[in-house]
Structure 1
Amino acid sequence: MVGSNKHTRNLCCEGELEATVPTLPQEIILEVLLRLPVKSLCRFRCVSKSWRFIISSPQFAKTHLDVAFQNKTLFSRRRRIIFSALNLYSVEYESMCSVDDGDVVAVELDYPLKDNPNALGDVLGSKKNDLVYFKVSEDEDENPVMVKVDVQSSVNPRNWVEIWGSCNGLVCIAPDEDTLFLFNPSTGESKRILEESFSGPATCGVTAYGFGYDSTSDDYKVVRIDTDSSFSVYSSRTDSWRRIGTFPYDCSVYNSGMFLHGALHWVATSREDEDDKYVVSVFDLREELFWGMPAPDVDDSFEFAVGTLNGCLCILYSRDDLHDDFWVMREYGVGDSWARFSISLPYICMKPLCLAKNGEALLEVDGRLVQYNLEEDTYKVLGIQGIPVGVGFEADTYIESLTSPNGFFGREFQMYN
């Protein structure tokens, strides 16, 4: 059609072709833009001032996200898996559903502090002799045994990037120890979260974070649980931390809080129960209060993590031994609705990522990506091209969006005047 449509191209006097934009009602243009991928919208900001004004609007970003949540096809196209493997990588969700050879292609992401060397790599980089001696025997009656290791060849120059949660296209990451950023992998925007600063005594360290969205106040929040059982909340609207109180459960939680139904969830043990019975610790982001949800009857000698599968809360083993089961809460908040599932794939640490179109579950299992058919109890391990061989990974999901981490939250903005 290009070259034959006189409404889209006109012949100039100099004999060159000049492109013109068709005149369409603004409502039609808006409906088209709302269905386009983020990559295209970022390019189309340069089309005209009016398009830039529309696409850069916080209200447009919210509507663009809402349209995807309401349309299964658009949601599937915009869903991504983010991997941390001494770097950050992204994979299209739909490509995982369509691969026949078991391989998917990962795209390396640019993220804040990516090129900052880690402390060990920086120290070793200043040494002329990369051979380091380690003492492996502490027996005073024996001569110490020393081994010589070429450390430089085994040290990656980058820090491991922790992924502490994902919500509405934003991912909370820690590319360095206790250094948090809100990061949009689709647009490349990021915002460093200020370090916690209080006048009280210093805490002993962090055990876990959680990240989620309070829709009532239009606020993205990060929750921090410390080893001394204190917990704090960061608000993106105020760009500040607040010390809230004391974590009301045993503070031995190490995994990121799972965001679901406006709340963050961890598996913890009750301080009031003499038998150290497990509960699901729920932090309501709107009320900023903890409450306990019944957990399934599980062995208290293991550690557990919380995940989601098809919108349902899950409890899974997170370390210590091989296991072949997990639990799913069929009805949120109802203790009697916990159901135990057995699988033929033993795991030490497992995290459900999402369900594919064909109903198969995409799982992160001990640093591998697995496609699992829950009905037939069969699975296959998916290879990931682009991630270094032999490097394990952590994974999470996110949806492509225009959500900005830089100060758009809570603003009133009229984009159609």
Structure 2
Amino acid sequence: MDGIQNYLPHDVIEGILSRLPVKSLLRFKCVCKQWSATISAPKFAQTHLRRSKNSSSTILLVDLENSPEKAQLVDLETEQFRHSAVDYPVEVSVADVMCHCDGLYVLWCSDRGYALWNPSRRSYKMLNYQQYRFDHDQLMCGICYDPLVEDYNVVMADSTHYAVFHCRRNCWSDLKELNLSITIRYDVDDASGLPLKNGSIYWLRCVWGEGEVLRYEIVYFDGRDEEMKILCKADGDSFPVRMISSGECLRFFARDWDDQWVEMAMPPAAAAPAMPFGGGYAPLCWTHDGGKILLESSKDNSLQIYDVSEKSLARVGYPWNVLILHEHRPRLFPHVENVFWD
């Protein structure tokens, strides 16, 4: 170690370390105290994360009922779409990914409650809020990064209350009432909130009345004051709506009467680039590098990649059709290596 320090300044060493995979970083923490402190520092974690995002076209597939593995990481940049199995962190009968951000995932573990999972580190921590039992059937869950305090926040909310878990501090906020003036039933097709880089989390919810969808609402968590708010409302119809995020902006899609996917004009979509991939494809998720969108063809259920810069479509060779069982489809999440947390 002394020999290395004699030839290389520490900032050069830090730059080299920031380009390494998490598995190597965990080993190199044992080299010396200085390396361990560097790798554990929040600023190093963000530098490493930025580099990982710029080169990451990996997705996480979960809920694979037609596969021996429950989850897989798939690299979309490799010619054969190299994939590797990922084990859930706890021994439970049922586990479900509730939300994600920067390669971190909140799991609902039926036997033990909620857990924050980092597949890159193969580590987890339980998130059970002992003072209050959230209504799981009405749960909204999201996770985002707060750049002001260099920490991740996990937000859990049901129809009446919400609370925030501060990951690095390992503590919950006080329970807060959910004052959104909601008087009629909500239906949540996907309780997973989508984070943006400004430290906010967005959910798309249906408001029902008299057996039909009255409108859609975008509910969001404002990280600046840790309050839940309504961003906007849009008239609803009987067709499903889908929301995807690049981290920079949100996009909204719905099925029209011809069973085609069309983009909806809902803020803040105006800041997003045009994506003319046609109505015969259902948007699934955006890769972390912001350059690719995963789509499913309505013709043959094949998986397609839309390249935003090239404005081109390419069929994915990964055996997507093999994983589809009747109406069941695996869930997809953009994945990136993240060294957080100690």
* Number of the residue aligned with 2:226: 288
- Structure 1-normalised TM-score? 0.63
Distance of aligned partners of 1:401 and 1:282 in 2 relative to their CA distance in 1, 3 Å threshold: same
1:228-247 residue pairs with structure 2 within 5 A?
228-236=159-167, 237-240=169-172, 242-246=174-178
Tell me the secondary structure at the aligned position of residue 343 of structure 1.
Answer: coil
Distance 2:18 2:307 in 1: 34
Change (3 A) 1:258 1:47: same
* Partners of 1:340 and 1:30 in 2: CA distance: 38
Matched-pair contact (CA < 8 Å) for 2:285–2:332: no
2:147 matches 1:215: yes
CA contact (8 A) 2:249 2:269 kept: no
Q: Give 1:341 shift.
A: 5.6
Alignment of 1:3-82 (within 5 A): 21=4, 23-24=6-7, 25-55=9-39, 57-59=40-42, 62-66=43-47, 68-69=49-50, 74-78=52-56, 80-82=58-60
| Distance (whole Å) between structure 1 residues aligned to residue 11 and residue 273 of structure 2 | 47
**Secondary structure of 1:41's aligned partner:** helix
| Correspondence for 2:85 | 108
Please name the residue that 2:115 is paired with. Answer: 181
- Matches of 1:382 and 1:205 in 2, distance apart? 35
**Alignment-mate amino acid for residue 301 of structure 1:** S
Correspondences of 1:11-410 after superposition (within 5 Å): 21=4, 23-24=6-7, 25-55=9-39, 57-59=40-42, 62-66=43-47, 68-69=49-50, 74-78=52-56, 80-86=58-64, 87-92=70-75, 96-99=76-79, 103-113=80-90, 115-116=91-92, 118=93, 159=94, 161-176=95-110, 179-198=113-132, 203=135, 205-226=137-158, 228-236=159-167, 237-240=169-172, 242-246=174-178, 248=180, 249=182, 251-255=186-190, 256-260=192-196, 261-268=198-205, 276-294=214-232, 299-309=236-246, 311-317=248-254, 322-327=259-264, 332=268, 343-347=278-282, 350-354=283-287, 360-363=292-295, 369-372=303-306, 379-384=313-318, 389-390=323-324, 392-404=329-341, 406=342
The question of whether the paired residues in 1 share the 8 Å contact of 2:48 and 2:339 is answered with no
The letter for the 1-side match of 2:318 is: I
Deviation at 1:38, TM superposition (A): 1.8
Return closer, same or farther for 1:49/1:213 CA change in 2, 3 Å cut-off. Answer: closer
Give SS of 1:234's match: strand
Cα deviation code 1:78-107 (max 9, x no counterpart): 553211034122123xxx1352xxx41211
> 1: CA distance between counterparts of 2:195 and 2:53?
18
Contact 1:172 1:180 in 2 (8 A): yes
Give the counterpart letter for 1:110 in structure 2: D
| Corresponding residue for residue 67 of structure 2 | none
Q: In the superposition, relative to structure 1, how do residues 324 and 168 fare at CA in structure 2: closer, same or farther (>3 Å)?
A: closer
The separation in 2 between residues aligned to 1:386 and 1:337, in whole angstroms, is: 28
Match of 1:292, SS state, is strand
1:245 Cα offset (Å): 1.1
Query: TM-score, normalization: structure 2?
Result: 0.75
Q: Aligned-pair RMSD on alpha carbons?
A: 4.1
Letter in 1 for 2:165: Y
Instruction: Please give the secondary structure, in 2, of the residue aligned with 1:301.
Output: coil
Cα distance per residue 1:15-57 (max 9 Å; x no partner) = xxxxx757322232222222322222222233344433432x2
| Percentage of matched positions with identical amino acids | 22
Closer, same or farther in 2 for the Cα pair 1:341/1:293, shift >3 Å? farther
Number of aligned pairs? 322
DSSP 3-state at the match of 1:194 = coil
Q: Which amino acid aligns with 1:104?
A: F
Cα distance in 1 for residues equivalent to 2:126 and 2:245:
27
Cα contact 2:59–2:334 (8 A) shared by 1? yes
- The unaligned stretches of length 5 or more in structure 2 are 65-69
In structure 2, C-alpha distance between the alignment counterparts of 1:170 and 1:276, rounded to whole Å: 34
> Contact 2:253 / 2:261 at 8 angstroms: preserved in 1?
no
Q: Which has the larger radius of gyration?
A: 1
